[in-house]
Amino acid sequence: MPMRWPIRNQILVPFALLQAVAIGEISLSASWIAAERAERDSVARLDQVVETLNASQFPIRSAVLKQMKGLSGADFVASGDSDSITASTLPEAVAKEIIRSPFTVTSNSGKLGEFQPVSIADEQWLVGGVQVFRSPEVKRLLVLIPERQRQAIRRDVILPPLLIGGCTMLAMAVLSFVIAAKLGTRLDRMQHHVRKLASMQFNELLPVTGHDELTSLATSINRMAQDLQQAAQQIRMSERTALITQVAGGLAHQLRNSISGARMAVQLHLRRSPDTNHESLQVAIKQLNLTENQIRGLLSLTRDAQLEAVPGYIDDILQIIKDLLEPQFQHSHTQLTIELPVEQEREKLRIADAEQIQAALLNLLQNALEACRPDGKVRVSVTLPDGFIQVVVLDTGPGVADAVRERIFEPFVTGKPEGVGLGLALAARVAEAEGGTLTYERIENQTQFLFRIRQVRSS
């Protein structure tokens, strides 16, 4: 595995090197320019001093040269014919040694000639000379600058730019390191969080700080975590649903066969024994039909392939459901009212899949019956908004528990201890299959389920 190079170093190192080179070049250039300018200014001042001495009418004496030294900081040696010293700011022995040195550059233009290095008495000097025309005693004037003084001047002008550049470079390095470390910390936090997501740990969200691209990335990671959590829940639900529906489908199939056999036995008994109490047996047959319809709805929810749809009419379905549930409504002293549209074309009540819609509405009405207390009321009203059939089921029960209100249309979600949680899931699935919706609402202390499907026109 190749060595890991953190992204903060990838950002910091190139820019730090580039800035260091740029600041170094700027500092060195500024120092060199400042040193050159200082030397030029020093030479220019000496030229002015020399011009003043050369143009003066008074004799050039040692006292005058000492005053010029105080103004310029340079030493002076004036010599006459045969290199005799006429005035000097240096000790006589040093001045004589300088006069005897192989220094030949003397300008005759009235300005200093080129400075040359000379070593006298273990000390380095820069010496420049000029011919003097106005003084009868002085023929040549030498100007001497100690090398240590020159170096001190250069150092004084070089150090400030270098110090400023160094401080700037240090501040830049610290600032770059802090910024890179901050970015690196945020990236490390994101990496750690993504690892937790990979381990299916969705209980924490990544802190969102700042206002940059990493903020958007953190927001996207949190959104991805929520999506992954929902996907994981859906996968677990799908796995559980697949297992339960497989078992429920098998049991429902067996129960349907058993109920069909029991109903056939009762019907056969009625035909063979005409003197038997038909009313009680008819109630038993209705209950068997009700149970068979419920099981048929369960099978429609658990099977993958739907049977061929058989069209029908919504009023017929509601009448069948009323007949099936009438014994239970009477037993619980619950009033059932069904309101159909007045003076409407019957074709507008036509539906595509009578069996599925009957199973869905049967579940809605049975839930309403179970939710009502004794002496409750259930009202079913049918309206026909544009292109739709809308069935509203109202009951006087307490409504759906808050804990499951947001998930009541999911399979196996129920607020009743004895409930299975398939009735509303079946009804919602049927409504969606018919191009409609199933919604829940609590209105004026009544529970309302609105079952909405598309109308089917006969060809």
Residues 105 and 126: their CA atoms lie apart, in Å, by 12
Show the 3-state SS of the chain.
Answer: CCCCCCHHHHHHHHHHHHHHHHHHHHHHHHHHHHHHHHHHHHHHHHHHHHHHHHHCCCCCCHHHHHHHHHHHCCEEEEECHHHCEEEECCCHHHHHHHHHCCCCCCECCCCCCCCEEEEECCEEEEEEEEECCCCCCCCEEEEEEEHHHHHHHHHHHHHHHHHHHHHHHHHHHHHHHHHHHHHHHHHHHHHHHHHHHHCCCCCCCCCCCCCCHHHHHHHHHHHHHHHHHHHHHHHHHHHHHHHHHHHHHHHHHHHHHHHHHHHHHHHHHHHHCCCCCHHHHHHHHHHHHHHHHHHHHHHHHHCCCCCCCCCEEHHHHHHHHHHHHHHHHHHCCCEEEEECCCCCCHHHHEECCHHHHHHHHHHHHHHHHHHCCCCCEEEEEEECCCCEEEEEEEECCCCCCHHHHHHCCCCCCCCCCCCCCCHHHHHHHHHHHCCCEEEEEEECCEEEEEEEEECCCCC
- Report how far residue 109's alpha carbon sits from residue 130's, in angstroms, rounded to the nearest whole number: 8
- Residue 161 has a CB neighbour count (10 Å cut-off) of 19
State the pLDDT at residue 305. 45
Cβ-Cβ contacts under 8 Å for 240 (sequence gap 6 or more):
412
Whether the pLDDT of residue 452 is over 90: the answer is yes
User: In the predicted model, is pLDDT for residue 134 greater than 70?
Assistant: no
Indicate whether 107 pLDDT > 70: no
pLDDT value of position 335:
92
Report how far apart the first and last C-alpha atoms of the chain are (Å, whole number): 71
Query: Residue 440's pLDDT band (boundaries 50, 70, 90)?
Result: very high
Residue 315 has pLDDT above 70, yes or no: yes
Q: Is the pLDDT of residue 433 over 80?
A: yes
Residues 6+ apart with CB under 8 A from 283: 327
* Single pTM value for the model: 0.49
pLDDT at 110 over 70: no
Checking if the pLDDT of 449 tops 90, the result is: yes
Higher pLDDT pick, 44 / 332 = 332
Sequence-separated (6 or more) residues with CB below 8 Å from residue 81: 139
Distances (CA, A) of 247 to 261, 298, 302, 360: 21, 11, 9, 21
More confident of the two residues 53 and 329: 329
* 274-288, 370-384, 410-424: range with highest mean pLDDT: 370-384
Residue 245: predicted pLDDT: 67
